[in-house]
Amino acid sequence: MKFWRSRYLIYPIASIIFAFIILFPRRENGRQDKSVPHFLASDTLICNVFFINHIGEKGHGLGYTYELFRLFDSHQLTYTEIIPTEGGFDCWADLITEEVDFMVVNSNRDTVPEIFQDEVISTIPIDEELNICVAKKESYDFIKLFNYWFTSIRQSREFEKLYGKYHKNYSGNRNAISPYDEQIKESSRILGWDWRLLAALIYQESKFKIGVSSSRGAIGLMQIKESVAKSYGIEDIYDPEENIKAGTRHLLRLQRMYEKMGADSLNAPLIAIATYNCGEGRMEDIMNLAKSIGRNHLVWDTLATVIPLLQKRDYYMDTVVKLGKFKGTETLKYMEQINERYLYYKEEDAI
């Protein structure tokens, strides 16, 4: 049963309400109403956020949700722990049994299990895709507070900027690449890179989709594994800021490692990027084989010519090669496509 048909989740004019809330905001010198109550102050709220794990999914809804609730927390003095999930009956059961405080779901796509239809209520839509917050009926005070806060904050320029960042069309946009440009610029300074190179890497990894995960357990914008992120002190790798921090710290460690080996400022970043794709063990094999056959192991263009040799028995059976045969075409294509996108971003800026 869809939300708009549910007894306690009926919004027959939801899109009209949303239009007034988002598209025709009332302004009072750009400031929201400061009288929103803070009865949740100091509380930790647990929130399941339903999302689609597909690189082709349109929009940046999960990133918007993270930032929206950061804003909510800053105003309500709360802490919202967001748990991205692909949904399912168990998530609804967790809501009913109060394992989570509320959920963010799509009112058109997500279905309330029939057994729970009379036990939940929802907020007004939080975006034009008609995503809503859902809670138990007993949490009516939270729903009322959120509606009051959201109706108030939508009048502010702060919200207008936030909403625009996640809902603009970035295709062909010469002024911005993604909603995460500021975080990417900050992280690129740590690496000493042109920020557009890091943006090109992130696009190659995830097309700027936070909710994407691979069969190998890589997650988020920079497709980093949870165990790797934790080694850099990062816990929530779906959080876009935290994911970029984890990926950047990993790249920085790799880059410094190759600099200590003697790679220059041009080649150390390139070898680090290739290693980000193929793994340290594979890159060690590639570099060792390069040295074994008398080629420069500290120049990326040279290493790129060595990679195809690891498909040939005479080379992958060399004693310096520990991991055996390596096709390597994925890594070479990865590097080529990142470079092409980086040059494209630079050309767009130059126009």
The model's pLDDT over 29-57, given as tens digits with 9 standing for 90+, comes to: 444 444 566 767 789 999 999 988 776 67
- pLDDT on residue 14: 47
- pLDDT on residue 37: 63
Q: For the residues 275-301, what does the mean pLDDT come to?
A: 98
Helix, strand, or coil (residue 200) = helix
Q: Which two tokens stand for residue 215?
A: 């069969």
Reference 225, options 255, 209, 246, 208; nearest CA is: 246
Q: Which two tokens stand for residue 106?
A: 């799509």
Cα gap 155→32, rounded to integer Å: 6
| Mean confidence (pLDDT) of the chain | 89
Cα gap 303→332, rounded to integer Å: 10
Is residue 174's pLDDT more than 90? Answer: no
Q: For the residues 234-241, what does the mean pLDDT come to?
A: 94
Reference 272, options 252, 302, 296; nearest CA is: 252
Give residues with Cβ within 8 angstroms of 141, minimum separation 6. 39
Range from 63-72, 168-177, 279-288, 296-305 carrying the lowest mean pLDDT: 168-177
With bands split at pLDDT 50, 70 and 90, how would you rate the model's confidence at 2? Answer: very low
- pLDDT on residue 278: 97
First to last CA, the chain: 50
Q: For the residues 224-228, what does the mean pLDDT come to?
A: 95
Give residues with Cβ within 8 angstroms of 69, minimum separation 6. 47, 80, 82
The string of pLDDT tens digits covering residues 316-331 is: 999 999 999 999 999 9
Residue 252 CB coordination number (10 Å): 17
The string of pLDDT tens digits covering residues 16-27 is: 444 444 444 444
- pLDDT on residue 53: 78
- pLDDT on residue 140: 95
- pLDDT on residue 182: 96
Domains and CATH numbers, the chain: 3-167 (3.40.190.10), 181-350 (1.10.530.10)
Do 223 and 246 form a contact (C-beta atoms < 8 A)?
Answer: no
103, β-bridge pairs: 48, 134
The string of pLDDT tens digits covering residues 242-271 is: 999 999 999 999 999 999 999 999 999 999
Cα gap 258→242, rounded to integer Å: 25
- pLDDT on residue 42: 82
DSSP annotation of 322:
S
Reference 201, options 169, 237, 242, 244; nearest CA is: 244
Reference 118, options 7, 1, 5; nearest CA is: 7
Cα gap 273→175, rounded to integer Å: 26
Q: For the residues 261-282, what does the mean pLDDT come to?
A: 98
The string of pLDDT tens digits covering residues 141-171 is: 999 999 999 999 998 999 999 999 999 888 8
Q: For the residues 80-108, what does the mean pLDDT come to?
A: 95
Percent of the chain with pLDDT over 70: 87
Is residue 224's pLDDT more than 60? Answer: yes
